[in-house]
A and B are shown apart, each in its own frame.
Chain A
Amino acid sequence: MENAPDIFDRRAQFDRLYESYADDVLRVSYFYLGDRQKAEDVCQDVFVRLLTKGPDIQPGHEKAWLLKVALNRCRDMWRAAWVKRVVLGSPLEMLPAEDNIEHYAAKSDLMETVHALSPAFKEVILLHYYQGFGIAEIARMLDLPEGTISSRLSRARKKLEQLLKGSDQG
């Protein structure tokens, strides 16, 4: 049974990390899955795991740890057929702030196209271009060699370019 100081420390860590990174976890999950409820489920699972497993996360790498767990969860969900029946074909719903609802065609095209990438490409694009991680950090998060990450990023960019050109031509 946990003693009071343990609960206090864990709650303090949870509060701090939730305030700092829960939006990122939620939005990356939503970008991946295209389903708000599923994204909230992932966010919940990630932070429950943080609380219950009580890992020793290296200071300065908390966000990487949270997103790694989130992506693992998203990947599991994505591969389940019943999720695909719900998610595939659903356009990514843009959720701008209420005072910022305008028609951003090019921006929503980009968002949709990133969302439409295969999971492996989507992950590296989201981690590098959305969340700002470098190749070395991404390689550690995904347990892949740096060369594979570089190559994957390069191919993902090409794929994105093809898809965006295709959508421009109607």
Chain B
Amino acid sequence: MRELGHLSSIADEMLAGLQAGPGLKEKIWLKRSAPARTGRVSGFYRGATVVAGAMVLAVGVGLALNNRLFSQAQPVANEGRLTQIAAGSATQEPLPNLGWADVPDGSLRVGNGQDLADAPKFQSLFAGSGANYPLIGHDGKAFRRMSASLPSRAVGEALGVVSLNTGEPSLADSEQWQSSILSNVAQEGANVYQIDGLSPSTALGAEVDGKTVLFQRVSYAGYGTSGQSLEDTLDVRGKVSALILSGVGTIGDAQQANALMDMLLDNATFYNDQSTQGKQSLTIELDSGVRLQLLISGEVFSACGSWSCPEFFDAFRNAM
């Protein structure tokens, strides 16, 4: 890619007509100098404002009584802003306008023929909240309970039983994390299982309150990736039946979904060893009926460790 080495001179040559001149400079200086509105109002104007406000209120009540307020509102086009109208609402009141910076990451990447209103909403499948969520510790790895149900056919071989139930798993020593199965929700003696088709570094099942529930690999209290790759912690290659990217859409074709997953597993680069919260999610539905999830913040995916893969989003959109 020798041409890239000349990008600087090429760009300066091809964009030589684009210059930040004195006109723009003055505009900037004037914008900075524009007086800000203050909250101070003199006594006279304050009184006048109160009276005017009362008159508006009276008129508004009168109109409401005549049902004039419940007519269909018209969308207002504001330059540089998005206006949304709530679907299915009788009043059709406009939602607050969004500025560019208010838009959740990735939420407005629209694929061909997909209406934004149909895009799946964000909902975390990771159970619990705060620092001490429901988890299992096994073989030096942490697994967090998922709220999605675990199909009985997906329960695999037994791995062992919970030998330590503790309300503070972060305080258990490394020996306990390595050599025993500990949990803050499964009782001592509860069975712990592999998930059929998945490695025990990716997910487990465990008996909680008489039911076998799913736990997905996460980072917790220093027990993170331990140098493993994304695929080591998310062993789903070739097993995906659908991918759901919240705010964007669903890929229900297994071939496309697996191709996208392959791309993510092959190209994601390690970001850090934390599990982070996100405003977006990638839900991974497997052939076995198991549902795993990655939370997304910006272009970083997180479950066990955080991983960057910006090209995934364009690829997902193109696949739609």
Contacts and interface: CB of A to CB of B under 8 A. Distances in A.
A96 B9 CA distance: 12
Contacts of A51: 28-29, 32
B310 A120 contact: yes
B101 interface: yes
B3 interface: yes
Contacts of A131: 8
B171 interface: no
Contacts of A58: none
B227 interface: no
B271 interface: yes
A78 to B, nearest CB: 9
A95 B310 CA distance: 30
Contacts of A84: 108
B269 A148 contact: yes
Contact of A40 (B24, B29, B270): B24
B11 A27 contact: yes
Given A79-B103, A125-B4, A144-B308, A111 B269 contact: no
B5 interface: yes
B20 interface: yes
A160 B108 contact: no
Interface string A30-61: 11000010011001100110011000000000
Nearest to B267: A155
A4 interface: no
A152 B312 CA distance: 13
A145 B271 CA distance: 7
Contacts of A151: 269
A169 interface: no
Given A18-B25, A119-B310, A97 B16 contact: yes
A107 B4 contact: no
B14 interface: yes
B10, B18, B270 — most chain A CB neighbours (10 Å): B18
Contacts of A26: 18-20, 24
B96 interface: no
B82 interface: yes
B20 A129 contact: no
Contacts of B18: 23, 26-27, 30, 36, 39, 95
B184 interface: no
A48 B28 contact: yes
A83 B100 contact: yes
Q: Is the interface of A mostly helix, strand, loop or mixed?
A: helix
Given A77-B100, A79-B105, A94-B15, A160 B82 contact: no
Interface string A52-86: 10000000000000000000000011011111100
Nearest to B20: A22
A110 B10 contact: yes
A7 to B, nearest CB: 9
Contacts of B80: 82
B17 A161 contact: no
A130 B29 contact: no
Contacts of A129: 4-5, 7-8
B290 to A, nearest CB: 30
B173 interface: no
A52 B32 contact: yes
A132 interface: yes
A79 B29 contact: no
B272 interface: yes
6 contacts: A25-B20, A30-B18, A94-B14, A98-B17, A107-B14, A114-B7
Given A40-B20, A152-B310, 16 more contacts: A27-B12, A30-B15, A51-B28, A76-B103, A79-B105, A79-B109, A81-B116, A96-B15, A96-B16, A97-B17, A104-B14, A107-B10, A111-B14, A118-B310, A118-B311, A125-B4
